[in-house]
Amino acid sequence: MALGPVMLGLEGLTLTVEEHEILKHPLVGGVILFTRNYQSLEQMMALTDAVHALRQPRLLIAVDHEGGRVQRFREGFTRLPAVRQLGEIHDQDPLRAKQLARVTGWLMAAELRAVGVDFSFAPVLDLDHGVSGIIGDRAFHHDPEVVADLAHAYVSGMQKAGMEAVGKHFPGHGGIAADSHLELPVDPRPYVDLAATDLLAFERMIHYGLAALMPAHVLYPQVDDRPAGFSVRWLKEILRQHLEFQGVIFSDDLDMAGAQEAGTPPERARAALMAGCDMALACNDRQAAVAILDHLVQKPDPVSQVRLIRLHGRGHPSLKRLHYHPAWQKAVRLVQDYDAFPLLEMDI
């Protein structure tokens, strides 16, 4: 069975009878996990094993695990600092900041891979223009070249641990104050201004081979009359054709207020996929997710299949093996205090 174009949230700590059936639906391609799905390392391994056992190829399992404010699993995991700290270090010591970014990306990915998670929706590639509370310290920096340098190092660490990256929120959510979870933000800047600033970090990361991107639920009216995640111009013309991006495009959560412009849940999913997304996310509203599965008509796309399969995690070290590994022990100490230890002995 092919991976379908819909990613769903789960209700709790184990799969329900209903979820066993829903996840076998041909339109489903993955699940996204939240804090409500996490109790312990052992419980998480049992949950991811249960999801992966349902189908072949196995469903993708994702989570938002950036560090700072956005880290869904905490007890039993290393508390990751907000990536802004890496940007602040970069202002004083660029080489050290990039080395730290690589170690941090490796540690985040290694811990998630050890419990069976395929990938994290990270890193954030938005710029911090000083106006967006929802982005804020989730951004590495305000300079797109610094963001790209740190993100490149961070992603290389993720890949070393067997995980591909998902950059977000294309073409940039940092230039407006509104929060797309609560409303549809409108960024009035023309394309030429976006291309000279926010888009640069995404362009650099695409050049470095970024495996996946997530567009923003943000309207840029001087570019198109649809929000980026539902825009053929942004996704097919600018991202695919002009920037030559070949990876996966995920929609942002279709349950967010910023997505309501596109209509009912099935209409939102259809609009996102028609605009160019490979997979649409329905994270927190089970009724809406079921409506999407009941009403969406979508034939498998062989090109999307190739892109999505690339996101399966590589390797699956046991937690015990990971925790005894000197590299993990050093990385934990380093990430808990970026200033305390030299990096010369870090083999990551």
Annotated catalytic, 242?
no
Of 181, 193, 301, 323, the catalytic one is 181
Taking the C-alpha atoms of residue 289 and residue 154, their distance in angstroms, rounded to an integer, is 33
Of 128, 187, 224, 252, the catalytic one is 252
Taking the C-alpha atoms of residue 79 and residue 191, their distance in angstroms, rounded to an integer, is 38
Token pair for 107: 């540690």
Rounded alpha-carbon distances, angstroms, from residue 96 to 9, 26, 88, 91, 182: 37, 46, 11, 10, 37
CB 23 within 8 A of CB 31: yes
Annotated catalytic, 128?
no
State the pairing for strand pair 70-71/65-67.
Answer: antiparallel
Long-range contacts of 74-80 (CB under 8 A, 24+ apart): 74/35, 75/40, 76/40, 76/41, 77/111, 78/107, 78/108, 78/111, 78/331, 78/332, 78/335, 78/336, 79/336, 80/104, 80/107, 80/108, 80/335
Taking the C-alpha atoms of residue 253 and residue 269, their distance in angstroms, rounded to an integer, is 10
Active-site annotation, residues:
181, 252
